[in-house]
Structure 1
Amino acid sequence: MFNKDLILQLLENRDGRALLTFWRGRNAVDIAALLESVDDAARQAAVFRTLPKDLAADVFSYLPGPTQARLARSFADGELQLLFDALHLDDAADFLEELPANLVTRVLQTASPQRRMAVNALLSYPSGSAGSVMTPEFVSLRPEDTVRQALDTIRRTGIHKETIYTCYVLDCRRLLGTVSAKDLLTAAEDAAVRDLMTADVISVGTLTDREAAARLLAKYDLLALPVLDGEARMVGIVTVDDAIDVLTEETTEDLSIMAAVTPDEKPYFAASAWEHARHRILWLLILMLSATITGSIITRYEDAISAVPLLVAFLPMLMDTGGNCGSQSATLVIRGLALDEIQPRDVIRVVRKEFAVSLIVSAALAAANGLRIFLQYHDAAIALVISLSLVATVILSKLVGCVLPIAARQLRMDPAIMASPLITTIVDAGAVLIYFQAATAFLPLSV
């Protein structure tokens, strides 16, 4: 960890030489974290200005969007131009997406026409597509190049590329194959690139879902994934670091939806209490109002409750057990859908498996709970009602929990929407209905 007080003291003493020495060899991610810990915006900008030029762009790319925007406001036009030109194109596009319109205009005015066109091209792709997260900065080679020529190309252009480990063999922008830097370094200098390249290349289109592209990178253990346009010409690559960011964002979004919270890109402490409440209250209102269904069912059985008040004592246990069982199934199915282990066409197989699981689980829970109730209350009829209700509730909840996420995927919705809160609401209503139907069938009640 860095000593923030030491850095601020060096800054106050205007000891630029000591600061340059301190930054040398430091990790850009750790420096970004240090900058985040500086609360005062003016001091934050002052610390950033002490970074060497070759390090400043890397550090800036690791800062959250709000911090980037705050720093950009404090920069002069010349500083903005130097920073914007030093960023990789995909990082530059991400930077602009986080800025208000007036700052975007100011940044683009300082950029060269070529860079402005390149960044605008990236920003034109739909949000959530592979094109929106790719970078056009990759090493391209010709099939007729020798290894010596290929290595000269890497030395000459590699400093401006996102990665040089995987190189792409192109003919009139058509992707012919890939060759790794390792293969080039270990081959004879007069060998032809076409003889070293791998022709079987995994690629995606610019409009491919970015999460699908990230999963391909993970599936095939790739460091970068080529992206082709509608005419099958290579226009960029999605790198593994971008894929990790995509999967992290998607996982965060799914977790938020599963917890009935509207997703928010801001860090927890960066969002105000009002913003947190705004993202939660709508779902809470929907779920609260939907719970009236359960209440109306209970109201229908007031006579049964009056006849046997003990029935009320077991309602929370039944509803909680049903909700927990449904959440377990939903979580596993949502995970399977996210990893492509489960497809919508597998719905029958999933239902069969979850039904088998529900029989085992419900039998164990019913036996344990039925025995406990009989020993505690010495009432075989009540124990039977609770046991049968548990079996039916567990089966219902597990089937609902596995089918709803698959149905959501089939309807092109996020399966996470069908997670815990919604399933719990549905299962609660079903559990209450099953319970009182069983009670009226097996107990001497008049309803």
Structure 2
Amino acid sequence: MKNIIELINQKKFLEAREELAKKNVVDIAALLSEIKDKELVVKIFRILPKDIAADVFSYMEHEQKLFIINSITDAEVANIINDLYIDDTVDFLEELPANMVKKILKNTDETTRAIINQFLNYPEHSAGSIMTIEYVDLKKEMTVEEALEHIRKTGVDKETINTCYVIDENRILEGIISIRKLILCDKNSIIKDIMKKDFIYVNTLDDQETVAKLFKKYDLISIPVTDNEKRLVGIITIDDIIDIIDQENTEDLQKMAAMAPSEEEYLKTSTLQLAKNRITWLLILMISATFTGNIIRKFEDVLQSVVILAAFIPMLMDTGGNAGSQSSTLIIRGLALGEIKSKDVLKVIKKELGVSLLTGIVLAFVNFIRLHFLEKTSLLISITVCISLFFTVVLAKVVGGILPIAAKKAKVDPAIMASPLITTIVDALALIIYFTTAKVLLKI
């Protein structure tokens, strides 16, 4: 890029254009993101060959897209929007303020404008909002030769031609066929005889996360989208699904860390916004932690009688919290991947009970050796701590396994039932077990 910048500074725009044309559009977008001088970014963008400018634009960062749209002429805006795939255009427009959307739409032709408005009316995160209409459709009466000729004529500006979609006169989706099969079949074969009639499709209103799961389950590279009458209205391609998986994973990680989800990059999010995203859950967890304090106050007589018991509270609470977090993380991931269903709650309890019994016995045994033989803690106190540790681990793992499934059944994101919340619940349970065990064994 340094060479290209030098050529531009020397006003050798034709040479710079030729150098840019040799590069991959993704690499050009990445290079533009590294340039701090916004005016230079616009200069470079303007000299890009027209046939790759829209592709580069689709990979650029949102802030740069906005600056370019505000810096170029209406005619240039129209060229970009008309050359972009519809799904990329919609993704960009969804992030813009209303006045910017109006500016862009007024520079598009009537047909494109109608299509974009239709896409913008689909619910957010639905299959309809992420699909594209750039696909190849075929008639079932066509021969293979006619189908291939049709693809040659119409497939140039389509997002993918790997899979073609067979429709009837009412646009009802009847089958799919791969370009590979078309090439290998006899040219006189009829499409309806060789098309695949058993295929996976989604409705325009299906959630994008459901669509992503279908891609993973069936190893798809594209999927047709139909309306309620099974009319073909668009397709979703794997590149959009990768973005969705990335978004969903980021959202789950943020929720598991007790933060409000945000799609903004960390370094580009204001300090105030980052604080807002975190403060709500911190307040909830802080207030819920008062229950732990109340439990300690309730058993104050136990602590005063055997002061050494207080020394083992952090270890019990930390171990219980960690045990619960391990289980919840695995269950949340299993639910997200579709490996675990809500109906599997009894299987999960059985599995976590078995794991917790094994881990609880090992942890309690090792802890007993450490306390009684190495630290010379009295036998009764060592037994009290180890019994409490065992039951805390068992309870923590079962609770960590059940809560995400309960959240799923209640139609709440299971990621909410993650480390911070489960740790708070397990802390309270650990203290109750500990002090109750101490009162019984130590006869306090």
Aligned to 1:380: 379
1:214 counterpart (212, 215, 240): 212
Query: 1:318–1:390: 8 Å Cα contact kept in structure 2?
Result: yes
2:310 counterpart (295, 309, 312): 312
Residue identity in the other structure for 1:379: S
| Greater alpha carbon shift after TM alignment, 430-439 vs 304-313 | 304-313
Aligned to 1:85: 82
- Between the two proteins, the alignment pairs up a number of residues equal to 442
RMSD: 1.2
**Residue deviations 1:375-405, cap 9 Å, x none?**
1134111111111111111111111111111
* Counterparts of 1:234 and 1:16, CA distance in 2: 45
* Counterparts of 2:200 and 2:137, CA distance in 1: 16
Q: Counterparts in 2 of 1:16-415, with a 5 A limit?
A: 16-171=13-168, 172-375=170-373, 376-415=375-414
Where does the alignment leave 5 or more consecutive residues of structure 1 unmatched?
A: none
* Counterparts of 1:72 and 1:320, CA distance in 2: 53
**SS where residue 167 of structure 1 aligns?**
strand
**SS where residue 122 of structure 2 aligns?**
coil
Query: 2:342–2:408: 8 Å Cα contact kept in structure 1?
Result: yes
Aligned to 1:431: 430
Residue identity in the other structure for 1:346: D
Query: 2:172–2:229: 8 Å Cα contact kept in structure 1?
Result: no
Residue identity in the other structure for 1:74: S
Query: 1:85–1:111: 8 Å Cα contact kept in structure 2?
Result: yes
Query: 2:171–2:231: 8 Å Cα contact kept in structure 1?
Result: yes
TM-score where L is the length of structure 1: 0.96
* Counterparts of 2:256 and 2:227, CA distance in 1: 35
**Residue deviations 1:339-397, cap 9 Å, x none?**
11111111111111111111011000000011111011341111111111111111111
**SS where residue 265 of structure 1 aligns?**
coil
1:143 is displaced (CA, Å) by: 0.7
**SS where residue 159 of structure 2 aligns?**
coil
Query: 1:147–1:184: 8 Å Cα contact kept in structure 2?
Result: yes
1:63 is displaced (CA, Å) by: 2.1
1:204 is displaced (CA, Å) by: 0.8
| Greater alpha carbon shift after TM alignment, 7-16 vs 364-373 | 7-16
Residue identity in the other structure for 2:435: F
1:307 is displaced (CA, Å) by: 2.1
Query: 1:66–1:98: 8 Å Cα contact kept in structure 2?
Result: no
Residue identity in the other structure for 2:387: L
**Residue deviations 1:184-212, cap 9 Å, x none?**
11222222112221111111111111111
**SS where residue 186 of structure 2 aligns?**
coil
1:83 is displaced (CA, Å) by: 0.5
**SS where residue 155 of structure 2 aligns?**
helix
1:71 is displaced (CA, Å) by: 2.0
TM-score where L is the length of structure 2: 0.97
* Counterparts of 1:87 and 1:442, CA distance in 2: 74
* Counterparts of 1:341 and 1:46, CA distance in 2: 50
| Greater alpha carbon shift after TM alignment, 179-188 vs 346-355 | 179-188
Residue identity in the other structure for 2:376: Y
* Counterparts of 2:223 and 2:77, CA distance in 1: 31
* Counterparts of 2:287 and 2:129, CA distance in 1: 39
* Counterparts of 1:108 and 1:137, CA distance in 2: 19
